[in-house]
Amino acid sequence: MEKEGRMSLHKKEIETVPSQTKEGQMKSKLKKNVGGPIQPHTPVAVSTSGTSNVEPILLGSSEVAVLVEPVTVEPVTILRSRIDGSQPINEEEIEILRQTDGQRFLERTCPKRSIERTLTTILGYMSDVKARRVGVYGSGGIGKTSVLKALINYPTTKDLYDVVIWVTVSRNWSTRKIQYKVLQQLSLSPGDFKTDFELAEELFQALRSQRFLLLLDDVWEWIDLNAIGIPDPTYKNGCRMILATRSPDVCHSMVADRKVQMEGLLLEEAWELFREQVGEIIDSLNIFPYAQAIVKKCHGLPLLIIVTGRALAKENDALNWMRASRKFLWLSAHGTYGFEGLIQQLKFSYDRLESPELKSCFLYCVLFPEDHEVGIVKLVEYWIEEGLVAGKWTDSYKRGCDIVNILVEASLLQKLEGGLYIKMHDLIRDLALGILSLETEGCQFLLRSYSRMTQPSHMGNGSFFRPVASFKSNQPLILEDHQFLSRAGAGLTELPLKGKWEEAKMIFLMDNELSSLPDCPSCPKLLALFLQRNQKLRVIPTSFFDLMPSLTVLNLSKTRIKSLPKSLCKLMSLEVLILRDCERLVLLPSEVGSLRQLEVLDLQGTEINKLPNNISELSSLIYLKVSFYGSVNWSEYAKLPHELVSRGVIASLLELETLSIDVYPGDRRWNKNVKSVIDEVGKLTNLTTFCFYFPEVEFLELFLGTSLSWKIGGLTEFKFVVGHDVKRFVSKVSDNLAFDNVPWDQCLRFVNGEVIPDAAVEVLTRTTAFYLDHHINVCSLSEFGVSNLDGLRLCVVRECPKIETIIASKELSEAVFPILEHLSINYLSNLCTILEGMIPPGSFAKLRILTVHTCPKLQFVFASSMLHFFSNLEELIVEDCPAITEIIYQDLVVDSGSGTLPSLKKLKLHYLPRLVNIMKGKWPPIENISFYDCPKLKKLGIDFIASHTIKGIKAENDWWKELEWQDTSFHLRLQAHFTPICDDNL
């Protein structure tokens, strides 16, 4: 039953406690007394700045005061007052929490009155000489960690002790882990090859003569302090221990002298916190009653209030507020209380994430060890590696950083001090683990690049790709920690204990330093095993797969294995086998043919020298990608199999939807094999994605004439290389533009052509990314037909010796490149102009990026009369063009009006020895500029507006010093943004 004026908490795990009374608060003044009691200040209050209008509202059955105007909360201070709380002391005297940019979100947003009430109680107990062990307990997310933090920052805490030790214990604790954390804080080295007993003795000797305060956060069970090496806190040694836990039973087992139950927020505090997250939208008459209901059902838990408020912060549709309140009410009405109810309520914020991409990236974070601090840069790299964030590297990296910020803003991740690391609150981790425990969700998020937009069935009981009904909100989130072995990125060199393997349903050990695996682990329940990017792993034991009858997903990508054991045939339930980028893998065992349930086989980036004939037996296969090994060494070439794919193999895979065959450029075996493969591909009626190398145009013609998927438009994604390709050991374009990294769905690379065949033009009309590579006769892209270029978003032209202009625009009536976003021009030895003549309106309307590399005859990039066509250009890169004298040439034609590139944000000018001028007149609001080896460029000509928008300038230091300035104030302003570069930085 709820107590007057205070929120009721979840049943079972969370119980309400009476509000603090004035009579129960300690009144004595804090005194420094070595080894003795701490006297707390009298009741505490929150110091705020500004004023606010307060009006009473009726929320449930209690009349409470609700802040109508936002209140700006200053650094939280404890204020000493009389019994009526009216005479605060100087706030500089006592300060609990100082706001810093990196402080964790609960410390930053949780109403401080709740923290202060609990802190005052703890200080009161610490005044008792008999209270050497104090236990603080309460539900996850109620603010226990914030209370311990406040205790550390209490002004006299550190003065009373020689050392304050903080250890976050977590569920998966060990004696060694705690010893290492304590040694680190004592500035002691654990040394090599010491036993737990030896470390305990070392710790005991270091602490026996020190007066310490030991803070143990997130304790789940009894911990033997003596085994760790921590002396027992006694009145004689003046030491104390404060522990925080979810369970009062843990306080009892740790022999706590005093117990403090962490309170939930008062109703008015809960409303204030919720309003702080959501904003003034909740004052709307249509939304207000639903917001009231949601706050009441959050039961005073700060974390739940924050996360729910953030999830609804941008919601102005009253109907969605009604649905949210009904969901919260439904849980209570159907008896969902305690921990299960809390997790279900937190899941509301997960469900509110706007895309599968955000949800996948959030779930990935639970794969790291509990309380693990992950570098944001590394985390984004992991997301990109897993295909959770797609696209070109620069775009996907930026998107990954944006996702981090979105998840932090939603309070689903915490950004740590300094802003370079994140971690996951243990209760949010419980939520993510609960979602993973739903086998309809399972590890699907790690397989997005394979499953597209479909959802998996019940893993191990049906097709992985078969759609299922969406998750019902009333489905229980059963959390069994032993089901998951999650140690991603933990730096492991040895495997976790055998017992953990035997119980686990999902094992996540990617991104470690594992070099060996157990011989024959018994894993009867195991559904998914992720070992990718363990780059020291070279061998899979012969019997490793013998006792994994339920294994559905196996990922060994980017390991250094050379082969798979024959025990692979025991994986009769396997649906997904990922061996991507196993660069030393040269052979698949014939036993792979026994995997009749297999739907995904990814061999891209391997060194397979022949596709096993037994692949034809994989009747369920719908996704196959393979890369074949080749060699330029003639003696080695003679030892390779005579064909890459045997006749009949592809034709047997009637369910294939995705097929990619990557062949070593110039491999003559493929020329003999390709026709039979094309004949068989033409019979695959379900094919939607096809990546293929056509060494001659006639093979492309054969495919276009026989493939039903192409004819009916079912082939929605393709990546074709047409023409005799050769192996390039040095790329001629940046990594972002390498053909293998292209994010577009329809890609054509036409290489070493002499004419423009009809088949290539037919494909071009359906293409979004076009690479024209070393065509020896074409003089302009106009020769392909301007209308055939209309669908292009990316165009890369390189090493075409006769091209003099990209577009020859005589008598054009249609817009040129109307939706092109990126144009890259490379190594065109005779290029004189990018455009010749006038072009129709709408041309280049979407172009954002233009790069020009190594065009020795090009004298300028734009004519001023053409600038208005490039109004959306954001990035311009010009490198190694020795004839260029100016970027924008002032031609004789009357300027159309703009005279600038209004959207330009980034300008990079390198190796332009004759450049004397960039542009005349008004500059765009540019943000980043980079110069290198432009010795004749003496003046930048930057105007007042541009000097205020620039965020960074990179150039050689000597060149920068010698620049001439019309207004020296510009130089002084820009100097603050200048970074010197040298050849090594390029």
Q: Rounded mean pLDDT of 93-104?
A: 31
Per-residue pLDDT of 910-961, as tens digits, reads 999 999 999 887 888 889 999 999 999 998 878 777 778 889 999 999 999 9
Q: Rounded mean pLDDT of 834-859?
A: 93
Of the candidates 664, 760, 695, 581, the residue with the CA atom closest to the CA atom of residue 677: 695
Per-residue pLDDT of 864-882, as tens digits, reads 888 889 999 999 999 999 9
pLDDT at 535: 93
pLDDT band for position 492 (cuts 50, 70, 90): confident
Tokens standing for 655? 């369910």
107-116, 193-202, 211-220, 467-476: which is most confident: 211-220
Per-residue pLDDT of 614-631, as tens digits, reads 999 999 999 999 999 877
pLDDT at 758 over 70: yes
111 CA to centre of own chain: 30
pLDDT at 795 over 90: yes
272 within 8 A of 67, measured Cβ to Cβ: yes
| Cα angle, residue 132 at apex, residues 131 and 135 outer, rounded to 5° | 80
Instruction: With H, G, I as helix, E, B as strand and everything else as coil, classify residue 864.
Output: helix
pLDDT at 57 over 70: no
pLDDT at 984: 67
Instruction: Give the whole-angstrom CA distance, residue 531 versus residue 509.
Output: 5
Q: Rounded mean pLDDT of 517-525?
A: 91
Burial of 751 (0-12, 13-18, 19+ CB in 10 A): buried
pLDDT at 38: 38
Alpha-carbon dihedral 311, 314, 318, 319, rounded to 10 degrees: -60
pLDDT at 838: 83
Burial of 951 (0-12, 13-18, 19+ CB in 10 A): exposed
Per-residue pLDDT of 246-257, as tens digits, reads 989 999 999 999
Which helix (H) or strand (E) segment holds residue 400: the answer is: helix 393-409
Burial of 205 (0-12, 13-18, 19+ CB in 10 A): exposed
Burial of 354 (0-12, 13-18, 19+ CB in 10 A): exposed
Q: Rounded mean pLDDT of 488-517?
A: 85
pLDDT band for position 106 (cuts 50, 70, 90): very low
pLDDT at 473: 37
The pair phi, psi for residue 402, each rounded to 5°, is -65, -40
pLDDT band for position 728 (cuts 50, 70, 90): low
pLDDT band for position 763 (cuts 50, 70, 90): very high
pLDDT at 699: 96
pLDDT at 685: 93
pLDDT at 448: 76
Q: Rounded mean pLDDT of 296-304?
A: 90
Tokens standing for 853? 């590399």
Q: Give the number of other CB atoms < 10 A from CB of residue 936.
A: 11
Tokens standing for 209? 């003569």
pLDDT at 551 over 70: yes
pLDDT at 482: 63
Instruction: Give the whole-angstrom CA distance, residue 595 versus residue 588.
Output: 13
For tokens 């608060």, the residue is 25
pLDDT at 471: 31
Per-residue pLDDT of 5-31, as tens digits, reads 444 443 333 333 333 333 333 333 323
Higher per-residue confidence, 600 vs 435: 600
Tokens standing for 339? 């921990």
Q: Rounded mean pLDDT of 36-41?
A: 40
pLDDT at 252: 92
pLDDT at 99: 32
Whole-number Cα distances in Å, 331 to 69, 359, 479: 32, 23, 18
Residue-averaged pLDDT of the chain: 81
590 within 8 A of 614, measured Cβ to Cβ: yes
Outline where DSSP puts E strands in 201-322. Answer: 212-219, 240-245, 258-261
pLDDT at 470 over 90: no
Q: Rounded mean pLDDT of 510-519?
A: 91
User: 379: Cβ–Cβ under 8 A, 6 or more apart, which residues?
Assistant: 365, 400, 404, 422
pLDDT at 335: 56
Higher per-residue confidence, 101 vs 770: 770
pLDDT at 481: 56
Percentage of the residues of the chain whose pLDDT score is greater than 90: 49
Percentage of the residues of the chain whose pLDDT score is greater than 70: 81
The residues pairing with 63 across neighbouring beta strands, listed in sequence order, are 58
Where is average pLDDT lowest: 473-477, 479-483, 895-899? 473-477
Of the candidates 739, 821, 740, 808, the residue with the CA atom closest to the CA atom of residue 772: 739
Per-residue pLDDT of 773-787, as tens digits, reads 999 999 999 999 999
- For every residue of 417-442, which 3-state class applies, written as one string? CCCCEEECCHHHHHHHHHHHHCCCCC
